Amino acid sequence: MRITVAVIGGGSWGTTVAHLAASNVPTVVWARDPGVADEITTEHRNSRYLAGYDLHPSLRATADLAEAVRQADVVVMGVPSHCFRATLTDVAEHIRAWVPVVSLTKGLEQGTRLRMTQVIQEVLPGHPYGVLTGPNLAKEILAGDAAATVIAMSDPNVADEMQRVFAGRLFRVYTNHDVVGCELGGALKNVIAIASGMADGLGTGDNTRAAVITRGLAELSRLGVALGGHGVTFSGLAGMGDLLATCISPQSRNRYVGVQLGKGHTIDEIVAEMDQVAEGVKTAPVVLELAASVGVEMPIAEEVYEVCHNGRSATDAYRGLLRRHNVDEMHGLAD
């Protein structure tokens, strides 16, 4: 394949995806920090976000956005949701016509309530768009552990090509035609992961964690289907798979936020000491707005929102969930 990939964003996951692509095709990663870009190119390391892990020796990096984008045949967006539109607007000045744009961002845009692929359609109309998502923890992949993910694109032919770009010997890439469902699964699970982390921070057991994850899956499935996703998607890698990894892994930033909340720390304290973004904090209010717009109940998401944005304690959040009226387990889910 004689194509070039540009990954926009030199954080942990953007760098890891660039590392994977570099095994198959010429790849460049754009990092805002020139020091990070120089280290990736010369030392094949990103010690700020991925200390101790080697990157593919052919991977290049630059702090010049135009240099990264202008010759790219595929652009991969690996920046947080709050700066996605602004960064993509800058990308639009240099990208060639019809170049596919793939989002790695598992969040929703505040204010507009848009998914990242919807932002792509607004900023770059006519470009094929899609999402790469799944239970993918960056450090495990760089350590050589086996993993699987999903690529969902607006054009299935492009999805097949992207499958070959990112797949590796121990990194299996599946295609999925449900862009909406795959993208929503990745965004919504971050909110549930905060709830799971709160349970761990409070010192509860595996029964509680299992209940939170399972009922969280029901919530994200209800909302995902109501917003146009396919129910089966949420039982796959982009739904249940991603939810499990994010809820139980010590590497999960969203779970970490929940753990610290459960231990009594404030959200401002937690966010201030973190070096990377936990998307679930910003996603929670958007999720509730979307749920209200389609009449879907999201009790776990509601409690996460109250803890993160209104100062409710994690203990009170769990008490609130237990006080809810009893319903059928499949309430609100399609048969």
What residues act catalytically? 189
CA distance 113 to 139: 30
Q: Which helix (H) or strand (E) holds 100?
A: none
CA distance 166 to 152: 13
Q: Which residue has the tokens 């304290």?
A: 269
Determine the angle formed by the axes of helices 253-262 and 314-322, rounding to 10 degrees: 90
CA distance 78 to 324: 38
Helices (H) and strands (E) in the chain, counts: 16, 8
Determine the angle formed by the axes of helices 206-226 and 279-294, rounding to 10 degrees: 50
Q: Count the neighbouring beta carbons within 10 Å of the beta carbon of residue 331.
A: 10
Q: Count the neighbouring beta carbons within 10 Å of the beta carbon of residue 205.
A: 9
Beta strands in 123-224 (DSSP E): 129-133, 147-153, 171-175
**Is residue 124 within 8 Å of residue 94, measured between CB atoms?**
no
CA distance 255 to 224: 21
CA distance 253 to 276: 8
Burial 62-87 (b: 16+ CB within 10 A, else e): bbebeebbeebbbbbbbbbbeebbeb
Burial 141-175 (b: 16+ CB within 10 A, else e): bbeeeebbbbbbbbeeebbebbbebbbbeebbbbe
Beta strands in 178-333 (DSSP E): none
